[in-house]
Structure 1
Amino acid sequence: MNANTSNRRGISNIPYLCKELGIKHVVLCPGSRNAPLIIAFGRQKDFYLHSITDERSAGYFAIGISQATGQPVVVVCTSGTAVLNLAPAIAEAYYQNIPIIVLTADRPVELIDQGDGQTIHQRNIFGPHVKFSADLPAETTLEADLWFSNRLVNQAITTATEYPQGPVHINIPLREPLYTQLPPPTYPKIIRNSPKTTILPEKEWDTFIQIWNRAEKKMIIAGSFSTKKNVLNKLLNQLSQRPDTLVVAENISNLYHPNYLYDPEKFLAALSTTDKAALQPQLLITIGNSVVSKRLKLFLREYRPEEHWSISENHQFVDTYMSLTRNISLSPETFFEKLVATSPAAESNYSGHFLHYHNNIEERTEQIVPQLPFCDLTAVHYLLKHLPSGTRLHLANSMPVRYAQLFPVRDDIMYFSNRGTSGIDGCTSTCVGMATVCDEPVVLITGDLAFLYDSNALWNPSLKPNLKIVVLNNGGGNIFQMIDTSPEAENILSFFTTPQSVNLKSLTEAYGLQHFYADKFTQLTEQFETFKKLPAPAVLEIKTDPEINVQAYKQLLKNIKL
């Protein structure tokens, strides 16, 4: 082994450590400085390798793979601004608790700020948006440096996958020459962490049960989960049938029962001030990640509960509703299993009263929507009813995820949305990543701006036939006409809505995808049947009038008021 190969022993060990610690998918972004890493992973037969040119798209593509598989994913990129392009996806992964291991090639430290190309400050470049960040030794000829490199890679991968999961960053300085033969791996020891366990003292349980039994109005809010939680769902089903407990579970919670209040945004828009005061819970329990509904957040900040418990194995101080009194470090399954077994229901008509209201609102919605003119709202209503069973539905941010919140949840599909940071920048790439590793239909409902912003997601030679993209083309950012604005904003509305006139058919076909089009309801029903059965990736463009969209949305919320 000569000096040129022995100094890369640490690089050769990275794929081995990744494989042993459960990684199966690696996203490779082409470059020169990261050539040794590409060579190291490319010679292994144990990985699914995905080549994505645009680093911003690659990061979100990795998120989609992880959402679909529940597994950590590696992303490899070259040095310089390529690294910065990963930042939006890393922030999203951090707030969604998705384990992405970012391997970035770098110049050795002595060349930073010395006029070399593709060289920026990469140490700790993602700041607080990663769980762990480390710089590997530039060379691993010495046994001490090799041990240090192996230990850091072990630590990074383990940190990414232990609860709460999240992204980590390994920065790897590499000296030239870059295209030399790599040495074989040295097969270092694997360092594993045992799962964390928390056992609450019986005295603590007694306190919780006393407070629970005292409360006649209990509200449980389930935030987003990217997997089906069957045990949790069964426990919440039991609680939702108690007269003192109201379960709020939006579609992206992937929890379902007819008794769940799935549409808090629409529900709260229908309530009077008196009804809202009556809805105020005495005890609020929250699980999962964030919710979509802004009205729910504002409601609970105004009508605050006496007690708010956050149930999570992650001991973070997330006080969304400004009423947090306890962080309880348990899995929701463990907590509710104990509660169901030991606590009877209180005498109350809390849930029954408001579920009766909710049923009335549902009936009114189903009466109103068919009477509306063709618009985004009626299109989404139709799509949600006619998606194939087993679909993995990704809802882009801005209006698509909000429209979908207005209509009943289907238990035979799964719902996803990038609500970690709620940006429009990687919705398509995330969906493409998910479709790459799934056999089920994967459908994205997105807006025109989100689709254009992330159109490089289609710059992928391996798009799967199960990928279907529905674009609501209303000519710009329609959401800014839905929300209340000031006269000052009205005068410069074009800077918010950013009108666009891109030919989506030409754009779609430039990437080799078939394009479908509908601008009326009869056309949508005909086109969608062909579209969803097509054995190839495709885009369905639904053209709507932005003014009609605004009128229809506001008309629905006005006419469902009790």
Structure 2
Amino acid sequence: MKYSKIPLAQTLVSLCIAKGINHVVISPGSRNAPLTLSFSQHPNIHAYSIVDERCAAFFALGMAQQLHKPVAVICTSGSAVLNYYPAIAEAYYSNVPVVVISADRPEYLIDVGDGQTIRQKHVFKGHINYEANLKQDITHKTTILAETHQLSPEMERELQKNIQTHNENEINLALNTAVEKNGPVHINAPFDEPLYEMQAEPSVFPVVQALELKENIEYEKIANAASIWSNATRKMVLVGTLPPDTISKKYWELLANDPSVMVFTETTSNLRDDKFFNKIDQMILPIEKNEAMLDEFQPEVLVTLGGMIVSKKIKAILRKRQPKHHWHIHENRVFDTFFCLEHFFQINPNHFFELFFDQTIAIESSYKSFWKTIKQERQQRHEIYLKQINFTDLKAFEAILGTLPQDIILHLGNSSTVRYAQLFEIDASIELFCNRGTSGIDGSTSTAIGTAVVAEKQTLLITGDLSFFYDSNALWNNYIPKNFRIILVNNSGGGIFRILPGNKNTENFDTYFETIHPHTAKQLAEMYHFDYTTASDEISLQTALKTFYHESEKPKLLEVFTPRTENDSALIDYFKFFNENK
């Protein structure tokens, strides 16, 4: 292989490989040419070319989620790096280690009217775990730069040595932070011309600095928490977004079998057990105005695990009926979602439970049994209601989620998609992901495709129409495996807005909120070589699903059309149905 003549480019490639980064997503450009040439031909690197930088960053996020290690994205200078921001914000709030390496113009060309230049330093400030602003090699300088630095050979060598030391330290810190904090970092690398020159041997040999993975084990506070836990008869564990297999089975079984504990899990938690309460809104929406039931519901102790919570209802109730004690367990960060956080245990959850359960004792309680009866009643009402309604989003999700194959990877789009999924059972063998860090509609398709490229299992994306069309450049991708599947639920607009307060069926609402459109995915499927099928009622959907997951020579897209003006009333009436006389 060959090496860039630019020491900084050599240093970046060498340290990335040393830190185990072997997947790199590159968007085309000239200023990043030293990195593109170096990474794309390296035998230890899987390089991917994604033109749209926004899609490229979400594609990398999907790979990093699946690989459980950093993935790098590389772009040219100027506005290119700004297009990474949505995915970087998502990675920050979802704890995904994406490494941004942005090529930059030399400092003397910034703010002088040169093309493709912006102020790239600090561009991700507030949503990045570390920022490394590197220095241009003094040995790689243009005539202009040489004229402004009249240095003797000895001075030049000393200055280059200092620059190399600075760059090595900063790159090491950035890459180590990506692993230690499990989140995004930004490395900004200035390159001057010439950019394309290569050489047979490396000229620098960077020092690799070791990782420092530490846990903050607060033994006394864990013991105190165990004492409080052992004396409380109403305890709630609420699990937000978690990667699959985060919590060891022996610990969640202890929680599942404790009569004083209700475990509320969301679809995104990847924790499924018959003894858990996994349909949060179905459980609590009918009681939100019932003061006596809220008294029964309010926990003494609330333990939260994982990331963002989807259910707005559980947030609203626990903010109003705050527990006496709220503890959050997470390795990286905490959010005081319910405004009553007592303590943040910054520790691996399994290690916490290992120390915690050694100090707890069982206590008798009717807390879970009371709500278990209600859970069973809710499920019966759920089944009765679905049998009597017409084909809508709700019926479509019943059919889709009820026929999922086992052992697949499921990606959910945001907004209505993930909320409908919260109302149904999903097989425990299915690994589930959703971009809930920022909960945006952008990037769902790109993230799912990134996952599919590196996953051993089949990957399915279920998404809504606005999210799909917004991220349609995700399909401009030469790496999509033929077993990748998309189910697009097309209700001709932002249907989620129809269940929110406000005047419906007005020109203002239709244009600026629901954003009604006539588009279908047919032409996109043809352009990007997907097998394309449609369904518009229960029978055609069931028929399409029978063969949808079978082997094929091309990826598949199933577009499900639902009635735009009926979906909201079906969902609103669904929750009303739980309060009707039985």
| TM-score bracket relative to the smaller structure | over 0.9
**Residue in 2 aligned with 1:466?**
483
TM-score (norm 1): 0.95
Residue 331 of structure 1 deviates from its aligned partner by 1.9
**1:77 pairs with 2:75:** yes
Query: Is the 2:241–2:306 Cα contact (8 Å) retained in structure 1?
Result: yes
State the one-letter code of the partner of 1:261: F
Query: Is the 1:434–1:442 Cα contact (8 Å) retained in structure 2?
Result: yes
State the one-letter code of the partner of 2:520: N
SS of equivalent residue, structure 1 residue 46: coil
Change (3 A) 1:284 1:110: same
**Residue in 2 aligned with 1:59?**
57
**Residue in 2 aligned with 1:169?**
186
Q: Identify unmatched segments of 5+ residues in structure 2.
A: 140-159
**1:259 pairs with 2:257:** no
Residue 209 of structure 1 deviates from its aligned partner by 2.3
Change (3 A) 1:550 1:185: farther
User: Residue 188 of structure 1: which of 203, 206, 221 is its match?
Assistant: 206
User: Residue 156 of structure 1: which of 158, 162, 174 is its match?
Assistant: 174
Between the aligned partners of 1:273 and 1:489, the Cα distance in structure 2 is 36
Residue 261 of structure 1 deviates from its aligned partner by 0.9
User: Residue 543 of structure 2: which of 523, 526, 543 is its match?
Assistant: 526
Residue 230 of structure 1 deviates from its aligned partner by 4.7
SS of equivalent residue, structure 1 residue 151: helix
State the one-letter code of the partner of 2:267: N
SS of equivalent residue, structure 2 residue 198: coil
Change (3 A) 1:100 1:489: farther
Query: Is the 2:498–2:504 Cα contact (8 Å) retained in structure 1?
Result: no
Aligned identity (percent) is 38
**Residue in 2 aligned with 1:236?**
252
Q: Deviations over 1:242-286 (max 9, x none)?
A: 111111111211112111111111211122432122100011111
**Residue in 1 aligned with 2:322?**
304
State the one-letter code of the partner of 2:44: D
**1:539 pairs with 2:557:** yes
Query: Is the 1:140–1:146 Cα contact (8 Å) retained in structure 2?
Result: no
Residue 520 of structure 1 deviates from its aligned partner by 0.9
Between 1:468-477 and 1:267-276, the stretch displaced more is: 267-276
Query: Is the 1:16–1:185 Cα contact (8 Å) retained in structure 2?
Result: no
Between the aligned partners of 1:199 and 1:539, the Cα distance in structure 2 is 48
Residue 345 of structure 1 deviates from its aligned partner by 2.2
**Residue in 2 aligned with 1:323?**
340
Query: Is the 1:388–1:441 Cα contact (8 Å) retained in structure 2?
Result: no
Change (3 A) 1:485 1:215: farther
Residue 494 of structure 1 deviates from its aligned partner by 2.6
Query: Is the 1:106–1:174 Cα contact (8 Å) retained in structure 2?
Result: yes
SS of equivalent residue, structure 1 residue 155: helix
Between the aligned partners of 1:381 and 1:221, the Cα distance in structure 2 is 25
Q: How does 1:86-165 map to 2 (within 5 A)?
A: 86-139=84-137, 141=139, 142-162=160-180, 164-165=181-182
SS of equivalent residue, structure 2 residue 411: strand
Between the aligned partners of 1:83 and 1:305, the Cα distance in structure 2 is 43
Between the aligned partners of 1:488 and 1:324, the Cα distance in structure 2 is 42
State the one-letter code of the partner of 2:170: L
Between the aligned partners of 2:456 and 2:415, the Cα distance in structure 1 is 28
Query: Is the 2:34–2:195 Cα contact (8 Å) retained in structure 1?
Result: yes
Between the aligned partners of 1:317 and 1:422, the Cα distance in structure 2 is 17
State the one-letter code of the partner of 1:239: L
Query: Is the 2:40–2:46 Cα contact (8 Å) retained in structure 1?
Result: no
**Residue in 1 aligned with 2:360?**
343
User: Residue 375 of structure 1: which of 383, 392, 396 is its match?
Assistant: 392
Query: Is the 2:70–2:98 Cα contact (8 Å) retained in structure 1?
Result: yes
Query: Is the 2:28–2:76 Cα contact (8 Å) retained in structure 1?
Result: yes
Query: Is the 1:10–1:140 Cα contact (8 Å) retained in structure 2?
Result: no
**Residue in 2 aligned with 1:247?**
263
State the one-letter code of the partner of 1:517: T
Between the aligned partners of 1:482 and 1:185, the Cα distance in structure 2 is 63
SS of equivalent residue, structure 1 residue 339: helix
Between the aligned partners of 1:17 and 1:50, the Cα distance in structure 2 is 19
**Residue in 1 aligned with 2:447?**
430
**Residue in 2 aligned with 1:291?**
309
Between 1:449-458 and 1:352-361, the stretch displaced more is: 352-361
Between the aligned partners of 1:138 and 1:323, the Cα distance in structure 2 is 48
Q: Identify unmatched segments of 5+ residues in structure 1.
A: none
Query: Is the 2:381–2:578 Cα contact (8 Å) retained in structure 1?
Result: yes
Q: How does 1:441-520 map to 2 (within 5 A)?
A: 441-485=458-502, 492-520=509-537
Q: Deviations over 1:291-310 (max 9, x none)?
A: 10000000100111111111
Between the aligned partners of 2:301 and 2:489, the Cα distance in structure 1 is 40
Between the aligned partners of 1:229 and 1:532, the Cα distance in structure 2 is 28
Query: Is the 1:72–1:100 Cα contact (8 Å) retained in structure 2?
Result: yes
TM-score (norm 2): 0.92
Q: Deviations over 1:531-559 (max 9, x none)?
A: 22142211110001112211211121111
Between the aligned partners of 1:322 and 1:21, the Cα distance in structure 2 is 39
Between the aligned partners of 2:70 and 2:244, the Cα distance in structure 1 is 15
SS of equivalent residue, structure 2 residue 48: strand
**1:393 pairs with 2:415:** no
Aligned residues: 554
Change (3 A) 1:420 1:205: closer
